[in-house]
Structure 1
Amino acid sequence: MYELVSASGARVACVVFLLLALGLAAGLYAVLVRASGGRAVFHEEPRVRGPVATVASLLLFAFLFGTVYATVLSGFYRVELHEEEVLLHYLFPSHVVSLPRVELAEVERVAMLPGRWSIRLHTHQGAMYPSALAQEPPAFQSWRALHAYLGGGKGDVSPVEFR
């Protein structure tokens, strides 16, 4: 079993990003609906009507949290290598995908951010299973084990070649 990302760390990151996106969306809503001017003689209308502000805030929330989810939190965080199958564990939503060994074509490693890597499993049918972003050491260990598992050698690639 190879763990690319700490499950508890990923959950904490999810909550932090969720609260941050929610706070920014609520802030946008407040800015859009508050009355302009401080002490006007006549009560002024809000800058934007409630439904429009709600939609704009929801779009901001979806964009911010969706971007973080798609780039950092999605993908498998743990991989288990068994004799005839590979199990990929996902956190969001929590589930396990079982792939027969004969269906797997190749494994690749992709540098995503400085010091952050993604492992991608490809099947013969063209499906791709990317991992969550992981730091270099666990990503390298997982890639090396999967590479050897698929018959690509004994996994004797050095970390320098991983870069």
Structure 2
Amino acid sequence: MENKEPMTEHGYKKLQKEFEALKEERPRVVEEIERAKEHGDLRENAEYHAAKERLAFIDARLTELSDLLARAQVIDPSKLPHTKVGFGSTVKLLDIEEDEEIEYTIVGSTESDPEHGLISYNTPLARQLLGKEEGDEITVKLPKGEIDFEVLEVFYKPIEFRD
């Protein structure tokens, strides 16, 4: 069974844009390889090797993007209820031990940007938060250890993506 990849429309369009740009770049790189072959000895031809590496990267990324786009499940978080933590929810947490508030928004894996509060629904933290509601206290198991959180608020706010 194929796994759907939830993402916002912004995330989907960003992947499409990258896919189209790489499709346009690919023929130019193939031409570079052909031109570099004309310079003779390929063993010491840096241009040839650089172009071959770039082509391998492009082909691998096109395959990856094609798969992601085929499995994409575009979700408009503004249309979802946010009474419990789910895709597109912003959740305000209290780290009970540190008495520190933290805010995260749950997004698709391709849209994740933890430094700006956007975490993938696949992260250990997000997986343990899904379905929780305001007032819930949970002990979250993370790579750095266990942390006790209280869910202070679950709400929707438009996501500010940084490209």
Q: Same-fold call, TM > 0.5?
A: no
What is the TM-score normalised by the length of structure 1?
Answer: 0.34
What is the TM-score normalised by the length of structure 2?
Answer: 0.34
